[in-house]
Chain A
Amino acid sequence: MTDGILLAVAVVLLALYVTWTAGRLDRMHARVDAAWAALDAQLVRRAAAARSLLPHLPAGPERAALDQASAAALGAAEQDRDLVENALTRAVRGAVPLLPSSPDAARALAELEAMAHRAVLARAFHNGAVSGARTLRRRRLPRLLRLAGHRAMPQFFDVEDTALPPDRESAA
């Protein structure tokens, strides 16, 4: 009789724990999704800010490279997003030294710097959420019971941060 009660209590506790873990896992995935949406939006804003440098640049290979890279970044699919963003970072790095010292160009550059800085933040928070979800998914219980269902393992988003000017780099 007591064995039966103990067993029932154990089963209930285990069921509660599994439900709670599944809920936690679900929330972690929701965080990853939200963080990716934010990062995606911020990368698009960065690409748009990079495009607004174009009118200030003299014609030449750097301007063409920035034109092409920023257009690619605006229309990038999720799979090759990291490569496209790195290409944009390099194109920006090549183009910035050619900017004239006009107030308009300075304003466009400041806007790009702010957007790049925010993209760095968004990427850090996205990768933080990914790391949390991955840690939980790798634990025994979620793996054994397949609590994550059919959801793909969240992936880190790795890109260079070099679109930032030196003073921002030290701050970010």
Chain B
Amino acid sequence: MRVGIVCPYTWDVPGGVQAHVHDLALSLIELGHDVSVLAPVDDPDTADLPSWVVPAGRAVPVPYNGSVARLAFGPLSLTRTRRWLRRGRFDVLHVHEPMTPSLSMLACFAARGAIVATYHSSVVRSRALAVFGNSLQPALEKVTGRIAVSPAARRTVMEHLGHDAVLVPNGVFVDRFASAAPLDGLPPGPRVVFLGRLDEPRKGLAVLLRALPGLVERVPEVHLVVAGPGDPDVVQELVPAALRDRVVLLGLVSEEDKPRVYASGDVYCAPNTHGESFGIVLIEAMAAGTPVVASDLDAFRRVLDDGDAGVLFPVGDADALAERLAALLLDPERRRTLAAAAWRVVHAYDWHHVARQVLAVYEAVAAATPVTLDETVDEPDVDDFGQDDDPTRLSETLRRWLVSVRDRAVP
């Protein structure tokens, strides 16, 4: 199958949707399919782009859903999206998060044929839908098949669009995490690992840092290993000076090192406060064999099998977190039991399994979509003759058209 995937968020900035698109594309290529990914890219020269990623230009930061999303949305992006669609001749177009004003939405406007949309977030309100309302409907109604990565995202789709969505969970390359070795050079003793942006409040690093004094009291030799980009000021603010050497900041870690970060922990902590609709970090930590302590958000509760495959604590409660982290660090037997239970949960999320579920959706959508006549017409690829990526091209076309109109009107 020829599959075109649209990632709405900037490719060279790490994020859940980007990682999902990357792994899905890899899994589909591994299964022998022809995949192209269209995504905003800030710097196509330095970014380490896989050959199957087509850059769609720079994206601008927009505050969205409690954090900052970087989006590409405008005439130039639309032109590039059109060109990519025309050259790709995809059997299936797979857009991600089409409710945000983004490449995904542009692709829905521009495309014909079989379109699959994946909904990742469980935002209670879509600002785009609230502002533009019915005017977005014509683009969204072209989508034949909808996938939700979590029951929360599925509920959102049903409430806002009145459509059902098929539940296909996020995937993880389980092998890559299961075989990872701990990082070198970390302080000895029990380690609690956190992975995520330091300065994004909903990732909840602040909760974990506030739990540190209580944790050190119970487990004196403990260290926090914090991996992720962002401003480390939050550590200075929330951790008493005497305990600052207990926090090891790794900064942004590469995708290759991520499994090793998980494997370095005796416990993985996910203190997220809200906004998490799936919890891929939990699956990754569990795949690496590290037991998890997570806030009791609906999504986490579900992944952790209601507490059978990991420990839950009340959202935002630093005292409870300190107590539960300490209890787990002091009980190796319980850690082994949890890791074994987690291993059983993880297999349903292996990409090997998940990609086949996505493919079944592609096939069903391709079968359920009418073939339109104009789709089969070969359009001349005008961009091959013009200068690529020239933002003045549109006005140049307009000028030539005006000239031709004038020439016809004035003989």
A128 to B154, CA, bound (A): 13
CB <8 Å contact, B364 and A118: yes
User: Is chain B's binding surface mostly helix, strand, loop or mixed?
Assistant: mixed
CB neighbors of A among B236-278 (8 A): none
CB <8 Å contact, A128 and B167: no
CB <8 Å contact, B168 and A171: yes
CB <8 Å contact, A34 and B167: no
A171 to B368, CA, bound (A): 21
Q: Which residues of B contact A127 (CB under 8 A)?
A: 164
Interface residues of A, count at CB 8 A: 30
Q: Which residues of B contact A129 (CB under 8 A)?
A: 144, 368
Q: Among B141, B143, B168, B367, point to the contact of A122 (Cβ < 8 A).
A: B367
CB-CB nearest in chain A for B140: A132
CB distance from B362 to the nearest CB of A (A): 10
Q: Which residues of A contact B165 (CB under 8 A)?
A: 124
CB <8 Å contact, A132 and B357: no
Counted as pairs of residues, one from A and one from B, with CB atoms less than 8 Å apart, the total is 74
CB <8 Å contact, A38 and B163: no
Q: Which residues of A contact B169 (CB under 8 A)?
A: 171
Q: Which residues of A contact B162 (CB under 8 A)?
A: 131, 135
Q: Which residues of B contact A27 (CB under 8 A)?
A: 370, 372
Is residue B145 within 8 Å, beta carbon to beta carbon, of the partner chain?
Answer: yes
Q: Which residues of A contact B370 (CB under 8 A)?
A: 27, 30-31, 33-34
Quick one: given A121-B361, A131-B162, are A172 and B167 in contact (CB under 8 Å)? yes
Is residue A39 within 8 Å, beta carbon to beta carbon, of the partner chain?
Answer: yes
Is residue B369 within 8 Å, beta carbon to beta carbon, of the partner chain?
Answer: yes
A154 to B42, CA, bound (A): 45
Is residue A46 within 8 Å, beta carbon to beta carbon, of the partner chain?
Answer: no
CB <8 Å contact, A132 and B141: yes
Is residue B146 within 8 Å, beta carbon to beta carbon, of the partner chain?
Answer: yes
CB <8 Å contact, B164 and A117: no
Is residue A105 within 8 Å, beta carbon to beta carbon, of the partner chain?
Answer: no
CB <8 Å contact, A121 and B364: yes
CB-CB nearest in chain A for B146: A128
Q: Mark A116-152, 1 if CB is under 8 A from B, else 0.
A: 0110111011111101100110000000000000000
Is residue A107 within 8 Å, beta carbon to beta carbon, of the partner chain?
Answer: no
Q: Among A37, A125, A135, point to the contact of B145 (Cβ < 8 A).
A: A125
Q: Among A41, A124, A135, point to the contact of B367 (Cβ < 8 A).
A: A41
CB <8 Å contact, B369 and A24: no
A22 to B148, CA, bound (A): 31
CB distance from B12 to the nearest CB of A (A): 33
Is residue B386 within 8 Å, beta carbon to beta carbon, of the partner chain?
Answer: no
Quick one: given A24-B138, A28-B141, A30-B370, are A128 and B360 in contact (CB under 8 Å)? no
Q: Among A28, A41, A117, A126, point to the contact of B360 (Cβ < 8 A).
A: A117
Is residue A73 within 8 Å, beta carbon to beta carbon, of the partner chain?
Answer: no
Is residue B166 within 8 Å, beta carbon to beta carbon, of the partner chain?
Answer: yes
CB <8 Å contact, A124 and B369: no
- Sample 5 A-B pairs with CB under 8 A, ordered by A number: A31-B369, A121-B166, A124-B146, A171-B167, A171-B169
Smallest CB-CB A-B distances: 4 pairs = A38-B367, A34-B370, A121-B364, A38-B368
Query: Beyond the given A122-B367, A124-B145, could you list 14 further A-B residue pairs with CB under 8 A, ordered by the A residue number?
Result: A24-B141, A27-B372, A34-B369, A42-B364, A122-B368, A124-B164, A128-B145, A128-B146, A129-B368, A131-B162, A136-B141, A171-B168, A171-B348, A172-B166
